[in-house]
Each structure stands twice: as structure tokens, then as C-alpha cells.
């Protein structure tokens, strides 16, 4: 759940006092044995997480970092290459392509999704609208589908031979090129599915943010003549800024982790000229088709570093907010 990255960072930079809880009055005198048990019990309660994390988190993490320093094919002991894998990445045209595609997807998805979700959230939140819950429910509906199902549905809808949308468009003499073989359609196709699947999710978060805005602020703004779009730009958006940054970070992390949609649409080869290749599918191909585990681990670490850097930049952007 890297979508919570920002939460964690925020939590870590929060003053320590907010984490600390009130002291409990120590309980009435207990038997010695009982007392010992009471000391051990809390650790037992939290231990499942730490044990599982050790086995499936910490150890894998160290192993994979070591692996990224080796040329390792899974069978042979492998050969230490130091940062060789990372250097090789820079000369790998597939990696560069995947990196560019991921960047393009980011550019295509972030502004549209944030904007669309914000517009919808503001309208749904408006006092002029009845059946808020119904609209919210509809817009949120795609979030329930698995990404695989969403991608399959779109693949079939836009299928070249007898897809629904293609056929309807051809009725109006509009020829829809095949998104699976047309280079320039790869990014829009992936971005479109992502937009359909996630906008409702982002909207729900922004809506929750909007609903915490104190009514008095909005009323005061109205008295000052900031209504409608003016109010939105000058009052709502600045106050909502933390939520907007949070959702931007979520989407950014999501884009860097994209796998299901490009995998279903373009497989691990990335479709026409690698136009649908992203970092996730590239890593999968290297790890589980070429068995270049060391090289694939290096890709994974680059992705992690990018996510971390992007989140930090966006958080810095958030913390310099000026409310005046």
C-alpha cells in the first residue's frame, strides 16, 4: 500500500507529542507471575506484524538489494557486478522507453484526474444538488472492478474487428485505429482506463476534504463576494491544497506502479514499438521471462527511488503552502 506513503511521511514529521498517548494508571497489585505476563503480552500482540515483516519484508529487501549488485540468473551463483546493473539500465533502450512512457502517463493522468475529480467533488458537494449519494455511488463504481476486468472490458469495447465502440464509430464513418497496433494510442489507452478506474477514488477523498471545510469560512467568502468559480479558485482550492497534494502523491505512486493495465493491453513486450511498455512490465519481463533477477531488482530499486523522490518533492511543495 504505497499509496499511504505520504501519510507515513507526514506522520514521521509530526511532533512526537501527538504520537504519545496518555499514561494509564497502573493497575491494582497483581501476582508476580501475572505482572510478568502483562509485560510480555503487548509485545506478543504486535509481534505478528514484525515477524511477517522480517520474513517477507526486511529480508527480501536486503536480498533484493544485494541481488541488484549481481548478474544473477537464478541458477548459477552469479557474478558480482557492483553498480553494473544500474549502469546497464542507462544503456538499455527498453528501460529508457519504459521510463519515458511512465513519464508521459504521469503527464497525461495527473492533471486530468485531479481536475476531473475536483470538479465532480465540488459539484457533488454543492448545496444545489440532491441525491449526492447516488451520484457519488455511480462515480465510485469503477473502483470496485479489478484492474484486470477494467482492462479486459476496454480491450473488448475497442476491439478492432467487432468491438462495440469501434463498430458504432464506423457507423458514423469514423475509423478508429487499432489501439493495440497504433503507437500513438498506447499511452492514451492506458491513461483512459486508469482515469476511468481511479477518478472516483480520488473524488471520494477530495469530497471528504471538502466536507471538513468549515461552513463559516465559505459563508464569509460569500459575503465578500467570492462565489461560484471565484470562490472555488480563491477559497476552496487553497484550503483544499493539502488534500490535493495528497491525492497527487497517491496518483504519482500509482502511475509508477502501473502493471495490470499495460500487462493486459500490451503484454510484457509493450505492444507496437514498445509504446505500451512501463517500468512494471519491464521489470516483470526481465525477472520472470528472462530470469535476469539481478537486473530486474535494479529496475525495482530505480522505481522505488523515483517514487520516494517524487513524493518528497510534492510534500515539500505542500509544506510551503501560503494561506495568506
Partner 1 sequence: MVKILLHSVLIVASLFFIAPYYWLLTSAFKSLPDIQKLPPEIIPLSPTLANFRELINSTGYTQSLLNSLYVGIITTICALFICSLAGFAFAKLRFPGRDKLFVVMLSTMMIPSVVLLIPSFIIMTQVGLIDTFWSLILISIAPPFGIFWMRQYISVAIHNEIFEAALIDGAGYFQVYWKVVLPLISPGLASLAIFIFTVSWNSFLQPLTFLKSPEKFTYPVQLVAMQSITFPVRPTHLIMAGATLSVAPILVLYVFLQRFFVSGITAGAVKE
Q: Which of residues 225-284 bind partner 1 (CB under 8 A)?
A: 242-243, 246, 253, 256-257, 259-260, 263-264, 279-280, 283-284
Q: What angle do CA 8, 13, 17 make, to 5 degrees?
A: 105
Q: Where are the alpha helices (DSSP H) in the chain?
A: 5-13, 16-19, 32-53, 59-67, 84-90, 93-125, 132-140, 147-157, 164-171, 186-211, 215-223, 228-231, 237-256, 260-266, 279-288, 293-319
Among 35, 36, 53, 181, binds partner 1 (CB under 8 A): 53
Contact between 313 and partner 1 by CB under 8 A: the answer reads no
Contact between 4 and partner 1 by CB under 8 A: the answer reads yes
- Interface region with partner 1, contact rule CB under 8 A, candidates 88-96, 102-110, 290-298, 314-322: 290-298
Look up cell 476496454; give the residue.
154
Report the alpha-carbon distance of residue 72 to residue 68 in Å, rounded.
9
- 3, 109, 94, 151: which is closest to 278 by C-alpha? 94
Among 303, 310, 315, 318, binds partner 1 (CB under 8 A): 303
Contact between 5 and partner 1 by CB under 8 A: the answer reads yes
Among 15, 29, 48, 225, binds partner 1 (CB under 8 A): 48
Site string for partner 1, 138-177 (x = CB under 8 A): xxxxx-xxxxxxx-xxxxxx----x-x--xx--x------
Among 75, 128, 173, 174, binds partner 1 (CB under 8 A): 128
Report the alpha-carbon distance of residue 282 to residue 259 in Å, rounded.
9
- 194, 12, 237, 6: which is closest to 105 by C-alpha? 194
- Whichever of 56 and 317 has its CB closer to partner 1, that residue is 56
- 185, 206, 187, 184: which is closest to 195 by C-alpha? 187
Report the alpha-carbon distance of residue 322 to residue 136 in Å, rounded.
31
Contact between 184 and partner 1 by CB under 8 A: the answer reads no
Among 13, 15, 19, 75, binds partner 1 (CB under 8 A): 19
Contact between 126 and partner 1 by CB under 8 A: the answer reads yes
Contact between 181 and partner 1 by CB under 8 A: the answer reads no
Amino acid at each position: 500500500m504505497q499509496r499511504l506513503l505520504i501519510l507515513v511521511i507526514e506522520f514521521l514529521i509530526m511532533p512526537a507529542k501527538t504520537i504519545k498517548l496518555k499514561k494509564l494508571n497502573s493497575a491494582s497489585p497483581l501476582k508476580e507471575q501475572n505482572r510478568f505476563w502483562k509485560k510480555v503480552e503487548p509485545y506478543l500482540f504486535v509481534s505478528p506484524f514484525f515477524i511477517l515483516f522480517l520474513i517477507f519484508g526486511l529480508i527480501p529487501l536486503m536480498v533484493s538489494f544485494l541481488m541488484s549488485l549481481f548478474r544473477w540468473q537464478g541458477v548459477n551463483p552469479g557474478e558480482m557486478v557492483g553498480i553494473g546493473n544500474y549502469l546497464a539500465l542507462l544503456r538499455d533502450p527498453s528501460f529508457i522507453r519504459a521510463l519515458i512512457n511512465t513519464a508521459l502517463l504521469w503527464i497525461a493522468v495527473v492533471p486530468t484526474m485531479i481536475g476531473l475529480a475536483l470538479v465532480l467533488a465540488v459539484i457533488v458537494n454543492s448545496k444545489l444538488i440532491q441525491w449526492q449519494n447516488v451520484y457519488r455511488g455511480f462515480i465510485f463504481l469503477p473502483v470496485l472492478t479489478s484492474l484486470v476486468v477494467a482492462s479486459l472490458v476496454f480491450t473488448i469495447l475497442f476491439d478492432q474487428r467487432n468491438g462495440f465502440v469501434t463498430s458504432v464509430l464506423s457507423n458514423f464513418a469514423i475509423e478508429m485505429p487499432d489501439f493495440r497496433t497504433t503507437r500513438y494510442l498506447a499511452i492514451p489507452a492506458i491513461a483512459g482506463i486508469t482515469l476511468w478506474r481511479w477518478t472516483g477514488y480520488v473524488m471520494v477523498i477530495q469530497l471528504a476534504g471538502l466536507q471538513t471545510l468549515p461552513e463559516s469560512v465559505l459563508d464569509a467568502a460569500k459575503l465578500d463576494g467570492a462565489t461560484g468559480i471565484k470562490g472555488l479558485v480563491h477559497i476552496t482550492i487553497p484550503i483544499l491544497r493539502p488534500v490535493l497534494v495528497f491525492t497527487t502523491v497517491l496518483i504519482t505512486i500509482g502511475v509508477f506502479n502501473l502493471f495490470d493495465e499495460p500487462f493486459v493491453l500490451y503484454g510484457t513486450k509493450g505492444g507496437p514499438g514498445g509504446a505500451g511498455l512501463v517500468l512494471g512490465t519491464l521489470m516483470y519481463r526481465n525477472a520472470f521471462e528472462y530470469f535476469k533477477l539481478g537486473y530486474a531488482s535494479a529496475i525495482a530499486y530505480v522505481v522505488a527511488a523515483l517514487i520516494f523522490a517524487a513524493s518528497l518533492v510534492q510534500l515539500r511543495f505542500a509544506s510551503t503552502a501560503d494561506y495568506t
